[in-house]
């Protein structure tokens, strides 16, 4: 599923009403372990404060999702550093092979 920019809304179709929910930034959502959970949709994505942002530690470095420069630029300044640090650490894990 492709995630769209946070300031866009997605309507959930119900029988009687269609409430709007906020969708998190796509680049951060793919590596956050709380993505699309209640705290994400009801708090982080709405207020864009990323206070519940936690990286998925179990992601294999070979399976890191790609992101574009546009997606990176859409991230707020607060999360950019943590986002890049996570990718750098995962890439270093891939490059470092301990001797046995």
34-85 pLDDT tens trace: 888 888 878 887 777 778 888 888 888 888 888 889 988 888 887 889 999 9
Per-residue pLDDT at 2:
38
Number of separate domains in the chain: 1
Residue 20 has pLDDT above 70, yes or no: no
Could you tell me if residue 3 is inside a domain? no
Could you tell me if residue 53 is inside a domain? yes
Question: What residue numbers bound the domain in which 66 lies?
Answer: 9-95
Give the predicted TM-score (pTM) of the model: 0.67
Could you tell me if residue 2 is inside a domain? no
What distance in Å separates the CA atoms of residue 26 and residue 69, rounded to the nearest whole number?
A: 12
Per-residue pLDDT at 4:
44
């Amino acid at each position: 599923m492709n995630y769209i920019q946070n300031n866009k809304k997605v309507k959930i179709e119900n029988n009687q009403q269609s409430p709007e929910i906020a969708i998190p930034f796509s680049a951060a959502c793919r590596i956050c372990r709380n993505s699309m959970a209640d705290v994400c949709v009801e708090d982080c994505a709405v207020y864009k404060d990323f206070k519940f942002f936690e990286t998925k530690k179990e992601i294999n470095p070979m399976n890191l999702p790609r992101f574009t420069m546009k997606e990176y630029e859409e991230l707020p300044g607060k999360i950019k550093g943590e986002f890049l640090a996570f990718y750098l650490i995962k890439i270093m894990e891939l490059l470092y092979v301990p001797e046995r």
